Amino acid sequence: MSNDWHIATSSSEIPSPALLIYPDRIEENINRMIAMAGSAERLRPHVKTHKLAEIVKLQLKAGINKFKCATIAEAEMLAQAGAKDILVATQLVGPNTDRIAKLANWYRDIRFSTITDDAEAVGNLARVAQINNINIPVLLDIDIGMGRTGIKPGPAAITLYKLINQLPGVEPIGLHVYDGHLHNNNPSERLTKWQTIMNELRELQNNIDSTGLLVQSIVGGGTPTFPFHAMHTSHECSPGTTLLWDFGYAENFTDLKFLHAALLLSRVISKPSNNRITLDLGHKGVAAENPHPRVNFLGLNDAEAILHSEEHLTLQTPQAENYQVGDVLYGIPRHICPTVALYDRTYVIRNGKLVGQWQITARARKLTY
């Protein structure tokens, strides 16, 4: 693909700041995901990165039928887009328990599942499922070192798996593991650490199987460990960032070859000095939880962020004299996932032309249910 793939000839029609999506590059990333996994059947991509029904439909067209999400709104978006197997990979508590039951009751032809690491939480889920006359498959969430959610592999995990089996309204179908703490830049070091924790997981699986209960499936990994789960296990693989990519992952994981398929369009709104330009890309236009650089501007690699506030980003660069107020810049965000959530729509670019807009439906906390 050409070096000017990102340029939108119709940029004058796009207000800034804006999120641009390039479907041709997304389709190529989908093909690479399938090739890495060996088949579309092995994939359960996470939608939290893009939150877009149109991207779900591109994956469905490619033969991917299972999906993973983090919120009830994302689950409803998936259902509306035509997905038939949806895993909500967040333990559901409070009103969210009722919401998933209502969603599953409305979409009876869709398989909704979720995760748990707590007896009381899964007990409440089972109670609500019974009231709604539905059955909800549940994966036991295992903490294999990240320390964010999940139960440690061991006797307590087996006990909880048995409890899920005893509760009417829910059924244990396997294990969920997220190894998001494995961020080694060196792929061989990352693999070595991953293999160690996989040994613990296999031991747990064998111990559960020995009780007479089945671990039907294991949903594992995020993007950095996607190739390991794909190559060395039969797990369902759950990459998400691979669809849009960002410069944070591209910089840290050079072994993963995906295309940037989402960019930010911003404009110069002021030139406060000879070596500075100020853009309309503040905290409300790009994820700001990371240190600078938060955006890699194409063609402006020497730019240094000096000031960043709600609506402004001031850059210092020797190239400032080459820019005029109103000029367009294209940037790759360091972290695409929270950046997408800042926008209510994306502008769709094919062959350099603006061809439409996609509503980022699931950025909302609630749709219908």
pLDDT tens per residue across span 210-253: 999 999 999 999 999 999 999 999 999 999 999 999 999 999 99
User: pLDDT tens digits for 129-163?
Assistant: 999 999 999 999 999 999 999 999 999 999 999 99
Q: How long, in residues, is the chain?
A: 369
Does residue 4 surpass a pLDDT of 70? Answer: yes
- Six-digit token pair at 144? 């294999």
| Res 1 pLDDT > 70 | no
pLDDT in tens, 184-214: 999 999 999 999 999 999 999 999 999 999 9
Q: Given a cut of 60, is residue 288 above it in pLDDT?
A: yes
Q: Average of pLDDT values for 8-13?
A: 94
pLDDT computed for residue 24 by the predictor: 98
Decide: 313 and 279 in contact? Cβ < 8 Å: yes
- Render pLDDT for 168-184 as a digit per residue (tens, 0 to 9): 999 999 999 999 999 89
Distance (Å, whole) CA 88 – CA 71: 7
Alpha helix positions (H), the chain: 23-37, 53-61, 72-81, 95-106, 119-131, 155-166, 187-209, 226-232, 247-252, 336-340
pLDDT of residue 31: 99
pLDDT in tens, 81-96: 999 999 999 999 999 9
Find the distance separating the first CA and the last CA of the chain, reported in whole Å. Answer: 42
Which phi and psi (to 5°) does residue 181 adopt? -85, -10
Which residue segments constitute the domains of the chain, with CATH numbers given? 11-16+261-361 (2.40.37.20), 24-245 (3.20.20.10)
Cis peptide bond N-terminal to 17, omega within 30: yes
Q: Quote the percentage of the chain above a pLDDT of 90.
A: 98
- How much is the pLDDT for 3? 81
Residue 2: is its pLDDT beyond 90?
no
Asked if residues 92 and 121 have their Cβ atoms less than 8 Å apart, the reply is yes
Distance CA 123, CA 204 (A): 22
| 50-64, 181-195, 272-286, range with the lowest pLDDT | 181-195
